[in-house]
Amino acid sequence: MKKKYLIIVIVLMIFAVGCNNKESTAFKEGQTALENHEYDKAKKYLSDVLEQDSKNESARCMYIQATKMSKAEYYKNKGLYNKSLDNLDGLVNLENGSQKIKVESQELKKEVEKLKSEEEEASNIRKANAKEVAKKAVEKSEEELYIWQKNQENNSNTEDDDKNQDGDSSDTNIIDNIKNALGGLFNF
């Protein structure tokens, strides 16, 4: 009877050591994949570790790092800098996990902040240029309108029908010029 219990205990110990060894290997593989930026592979290995030991805080933190770094890089590449920064902020404050990824996340955060700043500056320049172009278009159309009004005044003072016809032709040309100028600026 004692032999039976002893055999059961030995089998359980071997099984426990084998599982622990498997967990340790998966953890190391997950960490290596994470630090090599193979985030999907890292999540698979770390998920296996968490299935065996749901209280493994290091594996949990590295899983979070893999998820957030993957998203941060994706959003950065898409130009969605605020979303990228949200994911990176979560990594900076994480207690456990890969120290290498913590350092890389801080560097990536600085890079994304710089890109965001450059994008905002470029946007402001484009807005200022658009305002200037619109202002010039308005000035040009006001000038054309002023010329047209002066021609109207001159034509109304003249009694000659031939001159009225020429004035009408001139008016049409000025109006066409205004339309062309505004159409070129505003794609009419």
Number of domains in the chain: 1
* CA distances for 171 relative to 8, 60, 145, 178, angstroms: 107, 78, 10, 11
Give the chain's length. 188
- What is the distance between the alpha carbons of residues 54 and 61, in angstroms, rounded to a whole number? 12
pLDDT single digits (tens) 111-123: 999 999 999 898 8
**pLDDT at residue number 21:** 52
Q: Is residue 12 part of a domain?
A: no
Please state whether 187 falls in left (phi above 0), alpha (psi between -120 and 50) or beta. left
- Residue 64's pLDDT band (cuts 50, 70, 90): very high
Q: Is residue 9 part of a domain?
A: no
pLDDT single digits (tens) 1-30: 566 665 665 555 555 544 445 568 999 999
Averaged pLDDT, 159-188: 61
Compute how many other C-beta atoms are within 10 angstroms of the C-beta atom of residue 112: 22
Q: What 3-state class would DSSP assign to 53?
A: coil
pTM for the complete prediction?
0.59
Running DSSP on this structure, what letter comes out for residue 96? Answer: S
Q: Is residue 93 part of a domain?
A: yes
Q: What 3-state class would DSSP assign to 160?
A: coil
Q: Please tell me which residue, 48 or 22, carries the higher pLDDT value.
A: 48
